[in-house]
Every structure is written in C-alpha cells, then in structure tokens.
Amino acid sequence: MLDLKLIRQEPDFVKEKLATRGVDPQDIDDLLALDAKRRDLIVKSETMKAQRNTVSDEISQLKRNKQDADDKIKEMRQVSADIKTVDADLDTLKAQVHDAAAHLPNIPNDNVPVGLTEDGSVELRKWGEKPNLDFTPKPHWQIGEDLGILDFERGAKVSGSRYVYYLGLGARLERAVYNFFLDQNTAAGFKEVLPPYIVNDDSMYGTGQFPKFKQDVYQLKNEEMTLIPTAEVPLVNYYRDNVIPEEDLPVWFTALTPAFRSEAGSAGRDTRGLIRLHQFNKVEMVKFCKPEDSWNELESLTKHAEDLLQKLGLAYHVITLTTSDMSFTAAMTHDLEVWFPEQDTYREISSCSNTTDFQARRAHIQYRDDNGKLQYVHALNGSGLAVGRTVAAILENYQNADGSVTVPEVLVPYMGGVTKITK
C-alpha cells in the first residue's frame, strides 16, 4: 500500500507516476477527497468528545452543589448521540479510504520503462547459445505425450482443462528440477521453508492479491480461505504484524509449493502444454531487507535465478518490464525469459521484483533502525524457478531427432543416473 501521507503531500507526483500504470488521476483526487472528509470528521468527533467531557464535569459540579443538572444531562445525551452518529460515519469513511488506497498499485522506480502495454520492455542481457537443431523441433507437450511422461488427456478427464499427469521419468524430472533448485537456493544462503498452502484473507491482502485480484484465485466455499497462487503469500506473511530484529536483516526464504491459479484473465492463451496450468509447482524466493539495500538485493536475486538457468544450460534473456506490465505490488520487475525452440521465442520463467515498502505497509512488517525508530522493511520476491516451465524448456531444448530427450548434466544425479529419457 502507498503511504497516504505521500499522496497528500505530493499528489501531482503520485498522479504522474501512477498514470504510467494506467491509473486515472481522478482516482487520486477521489481518494484525497474521502481522506479530507475523514480528517474533518476526526476533528469533529474529538471536539464533541471534549465537549462531552466538559459537560460531564459541569454535571458533577452541579450535583456536588446539590443544584439542578437536568438541562446539562439532556445536553450530554444529545452530544453522546451526535458522537455516535459521527463515529459511525467516520468508520464508513475509514473503510472507503482504505479500500480506495488498497486498489492503487506501487509507484514505479524511475528506471522502469514507461508503457501502458507489455511492449517497450528493455532487454538487459542475454546468455547462452540457442540449440542448433538439424530437425523440425516439436513442442514440449508433444514430446511429453510421445514419450509417455505427460498425460494431458487424463488430466482433463479427472480435473478439467489445464491439468496434467506427470508419469514415470516425467515425474522424476519434475522432482529432479525442484530438488536441484532448492539445493542451489539453500547453498546460496536462502532458508528453506515448508509453508501452508491455504491462507486467510489477511494474508492475501498483505501481499496485494486482495482486494483487486480475487477473480484470479481459488477460494474455499463458505470460508475466508484461499489456495495459494504463489509461495510468496505465506512467505511474506510469515512476518505479518511483526518487527524483525535489525540484526536478522536481510532475511532470505525459499520454498517449493504448488501454485493454484484460475487464469481468469488469460482465456485462449497457452491452452496446451505446461505453460499456463491451473496447478503447478514453483520454487519461490523471498527477501526482507533494509530500504537502502533493496536495489542491490534485486540484482542479487535476479543473478541467482540466472545462475540456475546457466547451470541447466538453457539460453535466456533478462528484460525489465514496463510500468503497466509488472505486477501490482512491484516498483521494478526483471523477467527471465527462456528460449523455446519450437515457438522460436523467449518465454517467461521467472519474475524478480522489488516491492519496496508496498507489501510491508499492507502486512505491517517493520524493523527498528539505529535510532530506535520503527521503519518498514523492503520485500522482494522471485521465482527460483517455475518448475513446470523449466521442464517444458528442458524437453524442447534437449530434444533429439529420435524423439528422446537428453537430461541436463546437473540433473543426472537427481535422476538416479538416467542420462536420456526414451520411450
């Protein structure tokens, strides 16, 4: 959430920055108008409460002097009734201000390319050689089905479209990938966490999925509980309503979890294969740090995700997303996109974002600085990596003309020595 004090003090700056994310400047004016009414009511309520205290003292004095206090009692009752009305109106305005502010995205960093679409993202760097296949490459889903390691038909029968069964060495490959990621992450200094997969509404609000993106998730019927769309949610909320000891910062977490997404806004996109499933595995990385360290931490996070792809021998590039293409909570996002030969293009496999103090304000995550003053931490997150997409990239980049798939060297120990997947 944005700092309301900043919006009050620099409304033109906030309007200009959020306009690059598609926010109507009128939304800021409407929020400020509500906030002004709220603040006026606070003054009115406090004034009336002071008046009630004065009248109460006068009543006590009259009673001590055995004088008639009926008029003052009547006056106090009216003031109390007026206070009750004003406080009810104030509660309504507080909720309206909070809701309006909760729908505003984070302010983009000055170095984020401005764009109201995904077009205009900036390529930072490339790595690796694209495979030089001397045959027509097949898409990963066809490779998987031909090898008998992916079954989308039965996934659809049992659960619906965009679900899949991994079978045999397909399941082993998925397991090899996420165990490799976890081992690499923990070796780099991340603490492994096994978090809950179902979270409450406060947690979804804390990381910015609620209230704006409820249509993108799966909720339990008749309960304010949600299947996690990413491990970012339980990892960030681990410290919700907490003060992290300064000496503990930075904190690095990593976790393997399933992710559940309705994909409500992606109708017709990636309807085949492992790219856009309703349930998929992802290894997540989350960092908490002091504000002055967060941009270096973003680069460190991105470089670590790159290192995973380099060790797998997968060609990729890194891009900085435009102001409107990055996530709601992000101030800057670097996407890693891995090469897919059959599609002859790069596809996203990791997003590394600095949310600055945006999530920390929503989740009330703070630390105490050297002067003893409470400050909000900065929170960062990144995929390290999306497991199904990594499997898809391996199948396409390591496919052979005979239909087999060579196992990347770093995964062979995780595959029990298997070097090639064949029928």
User: What total number of domains does the chain contain?
Assistant: 2
Which residues are CB-contacts of 359 (< 8 A; sequence separation ≥ 6)? 206, 207, 208, 236, 329, 365, 379
Which residues are CB-contacts of 249 (< 8 A; sequence separation ≥ 6)? 288, 289, 290, 293, 367, 377
pLDDT per position as a tens digit, 193-249: 999 999 999 999 999 999 999 999 999 999 999 999 999 999 999 999 999 999 999
The verdict on 9 and 155 lying in the same domain is no
388: burial class by Cβ within 10 Å (0-12, 13-18, 19+)? buried
User: What's the CATH code of the domain at 185?
Assistant: 3.30.930.10
pLDDT at 270 over 80: no
User: What's the CATH code of the domain at 54?
Assistant: 1.10.287.40
pLDDT at 140 over 90: yes
Binding-site positions for L-serine read 230-232, 261, 284, 381, 383
- CA dihedral for 154, 158, 162, 166, sign (positive or negative): negative
The verdict on 89 and 170 lying in the same domain is no
The verdict on 277 and 326 lying in the same domain is yes
Question: Any bridge partners for residue 420, and if so which?
Answer: 406
The verdict on 158 and 70 lying in the same domain is no
Binding-site positions read 230-232, 261-263, 284, 348-351, 381, 383
For residues 212 and 328, is the Cβ–Cβ distance under 8 A?
yes
The verdict on 97 and 124 lying in the same domain is no
Range of the domain at 38: 2-101
Position 139 in a domain: yes
The verdict on 94 and 152 lying in the same domain is no
pLDDT at 265 over 70: no
Q: Using the 3D structure, point to which of 71, 101, 131 is the last residue of a domain.
A: 101
| pLDDT recorded at residue 27 | 98
In this prediction, residues 365-374 reach a mean pLDDT of 96
Q: What's the rounded Cα separation, in Å, for the pair 188 and 302? A: 13
Position 108 in a domain: no
The verdict on 20 and 145 lying in the same domain is no
Position 203 in a domain: yes
Query: Helix H segments across 165-293?
Result: 169-187, 201-206, 232-236
The verdict on 156 and 238 lying in the same domain is yes
Average pLDDT, the chain: 96
The verdict on 255 and 375 lying in the same domain is yes
Position 180 in a domain: yes
For residues 382 and 139, is the Cβ–Cβ distance under 8 A?
no
If you ran DSSP here, which 8-state letter would residue 19 be given? H
Q: Using the 3D structure, point to which of 55, 71, 101 is the last residue of a domain.
A: 101
Position 50 in a domain: yes
Q: Which of 331, 315, 304 is nearest to 385 (CA)?
A: 304
Binding-site positions for ATP read 261-263, 348-351
Position 114 in a domain: no
Position 83 in a domain: yes
pLDDT per position as a tens digit, 21-74: 999 999 999 999 999 999 999 999 999 999 999 999 999 999 999 999 899 999
Q: Reading across the β-sheet that carries 374-376, which strands appear in turn?
A: 242-244, 365-368, 374-376
| pLDDT recorded at residue 264 | 65
The verdict on 322 and 397 lying in the same domain is yes
Position 137 in a domain: yes
Helix/strand/coil for 356: coil
Question: Count H helices, E strands: the chain?
Answer: 12, 18
The verdict on 14 and 155 lying in the same domain is no
Q: Using the 3D structure, point to which of 49, 71, 101 is the last residue of a domain.
A: 101
The verdict on 30 and 176 lying in the same domain is no
| pLDDT recorded at residue 263 | 81
pLDDT per position as a tens digit, 98-124: 999 999 999 999 999 999 988 999 999
